[in-house]
């Protein structure tokens, strides 16, 4: 059964005539996504300090927002966070409340990354930014008040895709984040799953929207087979960071998250999998109107604390 709060939200959005994302231009979709956040997101929790910074890699400048919890006087563990939005929409502001919440509840530094997006910047730009962001945080750990031995990476939806792919790329470069936090991640660019078929209409994220997002991001069909876009297709999932994978029951991406958690487990990687069976894609940022969103955030914070403590 769909969560009644989720059903009420979808009914309200339908009544308000919110146009489907795939019928909008990227600029329109970004503005619409940004405008909706005040309706669905909780009030922004207070944290100790927030810094807007930039770093450069390969002649590209990337904005980051660094959240420090209150009362921190020693080097803290950190999470490099990649926002969702189909590699097309979303920014530092759309996920500000979530990053503040994770910073406060997990008591660690959160570094949110404003990676390049499509259609202006095609694959693999976002992937490259994700890898570079984690490396920059590791290199700048002392300046940022971060323990370099306890840096995790995570994200939701497209951001979960980027976090999973970045872990593969970082492994091959000789680096290993302490954990990967994957919130309803996309893990294969041409899905053929029960959840994609059964949940592809009527639950916020649709097949048409997914095609619009991937069309904005990818250069061609060949990119769907590249593990940097479809981390499920990597030749090996061994020696990757432990994972906490969270999905939603009425999400077309649900089965991709489960498939990835299973792939990690088969490869000997510690992997936890949780499905919020009654929820829809995108729910974790909607704590003002969906009670289970706040439970999910608390679970993610606990998973981070546990991984950091183990490290």
Mean pLDDT over 64-68 rounds to: 98
Segment 276-298, tens digit of pLDDT: 999 999 999 999 999 999 999 99
pLDDT tens digits, one per residue of 98-155: 999 999 999 999 999 999 999 999 999 999 999 999 999 999 999 999 999 999 999 9
The pLDDT assigned to 73 comes to 76
Q: Which one from 147, 156, 157, 230 is the annotated catalytic residue?
A: 157
Six-digit token pair at 215? Answer: 């069309």
Assess whether 281 carries a catalytic annotation.
yes
Question: 182: which residues sit within 8 A by CB, 6+ positions away?
Answer: 154, 155, 160, 163, 164, 243, 244, 245, 246, 257, 260
Residue 31: pLDDT band (50, 70, 90) is very high
Active site residue 157: yes
Catalytic residue among 68, 83, 107, 281: 281
194-216 tens-digit pLDDT: 999 999 999 999 999 999 999 99
Which one of the listed residues 114, 129, 251, 255 is annotated catalytic? 251
Question: Which domains are seen in the chain, by residue range?
Answer: 4-18+27-39+50-310 (3.40.50.1820)
**Catalytic residue check, 83:** no
In the predicted structure, residue 72 carries a pLDDT above the cut 80? no
């Amino acid at each position: 059964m769909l969560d009644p709060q989720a059903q009420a939200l979808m009914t309200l959005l339908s009544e308000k005539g919110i146009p489907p994302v795939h019928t909008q231009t990227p600029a329109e979709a970004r503005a619409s996504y940004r405008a909706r956040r005040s309706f669905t997101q909780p009030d922004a929790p207070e944290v100790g300090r927030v810094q807007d910074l930039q770093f450069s890699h390969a002649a590209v400048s990337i904005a980051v927002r660094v959240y420090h919890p209150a009362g921190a006087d020693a080097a803290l563990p950190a999470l490099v966070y990649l926002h969702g939005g189909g590699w097309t929409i979303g920014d530092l502001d759309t996920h500000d409340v979530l990053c503040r919440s994770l910073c406060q509840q997990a008591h660690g530094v959160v570094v949110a990354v404003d990676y390049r997006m499509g259609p202006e910047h095609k694959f693999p730009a976002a992937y490259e930014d994700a890898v570079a962001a984690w490396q920059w945080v590791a290199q700048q750990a002392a300046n940022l008040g971060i323990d370099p031995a306890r840096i995790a990476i995570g994200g939701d939806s497209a951001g979960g895709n980027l976090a999973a792919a970045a872990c593969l790329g970082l492994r091959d470069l000789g680096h290993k984040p302490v954990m990967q936090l994957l919130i309803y991640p996309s893990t294969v660019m041409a899905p053929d799953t029960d959840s994609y078929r059964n949940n592809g209409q009527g639950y916020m994220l649709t097949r048409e929207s997914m095609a619009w997002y991937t069309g904005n991001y990818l250069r061609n069909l060949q990119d769907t087979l590249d593990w940097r876009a479809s981390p499920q297709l990597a030749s090996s999932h061994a020696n990757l960071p432990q994972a906490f994978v969270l999905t939603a029951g009425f999400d077309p991406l649900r089965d991709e998250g489960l498939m990835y958690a299973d792939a990690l487990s088969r490869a000997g990687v510690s992997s936890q999998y949780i499905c919020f069976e009654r929820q829809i894609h995108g729910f974790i940022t909607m704590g003002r109107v969906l009670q289970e969103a706040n439970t999910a955030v608390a679970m993610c914070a606990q998973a981070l604390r546990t991984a950091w403590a183990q490290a």
